[in-house]
Amino acid sequence: MPTNIPLLPPTLRVLERGWLSANSVVGFEPDGSATVVDTGYVQHAEQTRALIAHLLGGRALRRIVNTHLHSDHCGGNAALQAAYGGPRQCPIEVPLGELAAVNDWDEDALSFRATAQQAAAFTAARGVAALERLRIGGLEWTAYPAPGHDPHALMLFDPAHGVLISGDALWRDGFGVIFPELRGQPGFAAQRETLQRIAALRPRCVIPGHGAVFDDVDAALQRAVQRVDAFVADPLRHARHGLRVLLKFQLLQHPHGVPRARLRGWFADAPLLAEVGRRFWDGTDPGDLFGDTVDALCRSGAARADAAMVYDAG
């Protein structure tokens, strides 16, 4: 944990949630209502609703904005919207590039089916375009494109206070898996451009999608650029990292462990994992790939396993 937590404008609060649920940012509006950016994973939806209700203290939530539509960022949308009066009273805004897929609930275009992750269906009132201005927490933000981790992702920047809501484009130590690369599409160059865009904005502090707010932004950017370079030099390393992250996300959903056979079944059946296996390790038995991924997680301290069960750790 950084010791010098930077001060955010008093109209912003960050709910730091860990890795299964992304952080939520709550903005208190001058009219007494509130806005939330990102809503966590569906498994935590009731906890998210309770945390937001506590923070709002009777204020009305009048808007939900998503940086991108991964399951750990939009899983509480439906529950929060229902708790605050439905689509008319609490509209949802998503990156414009995802608007049609959301409103058709096209699970092939969205990522939930490919990763075998869960989501509760919702509809969005409108799409947020790149370079659009948004008012959140009484502050004026610009939505910047943040492709790389997710081609449609946006990040929000308030130049007056130097605050960046980065989603999964930049964390204190790294960034989210570059999903297009797992599917054979370019993503590393876009991620590098996104990091350059952040550097040019010169944020004073970053509210990341996961982890604590940080203000040592230059060092974070330096680490992130080195990480992209390492992945470009060795795409297999990124693919292995992607498998570990996706497997870890399954473990996070099961605090009491998952039977090894069940986890192996998920690994073989989730379309994205099967695709990654074919693309990067053609001819390798999926069971071996699964075993190697579990072993790697255990070696790094992110999981522990015995003959029957695999457990989250770390």
Interface with Zn ion (CB under 5 A): 70, 168, 176
The nearest distance, CB 249 to Zn ion, in angstroms, is 10
Q: Which two tokens stand for residue 73?
A: 């960022």
d(CA 59, CA 160): 26
User: Would you tell me the crossing angle of helices 271-280 and 260-269 to the nearest 10 degrees?
Assistant: 70
* Closer Cβ to Zn ion, 169 or 305, answer by number: 169
Closest-approach residue to Zn ion (CB): 70
SS3 state at 25: strand
The nearest distance, CB 169 to Zn ion, in angstroms, is 9
The nearest distance, CB 158 to Zn ion, in angstroms, is 21
* Closer Cβ to Zn ion, 174 or 176, answer by number: 176
Which residue(s) pair with 134 in the sheet?
141
Contacts of 174 by beta carbon, 8 Å cutoff, 6+ apart: 223, 224, 227
* Closer Cβ to Zn ion, 161 or 244, answer by number: 244
Distances (CA, A) of 279 to 44, 187, 276: 33, 16, 5
Residue 188 has a CB neighbour count (10 Å cut-off) of: 18
For 205-265, where are the E strands, in sequence order?
205-208, 258-259
The nearest distance, CB 12 to Zn ion, in angstroms, is 21
Residue 79 near residue 41 (C-beta atoms within 8 A): no
* Closer Cβ to Zn ion, 161 or 241, answer by number: 241
Residue 147 has a CB neighbour count (10 Å cut-off) of: 23
* Closer Cβ to Zn ion, 21 or 139, answer by number: 21
The nearest distance, CB 72 to Zn ion, in angstroms, is 7
* Closer Cβ to Zn ion, 127 or 208, answer by number: 208
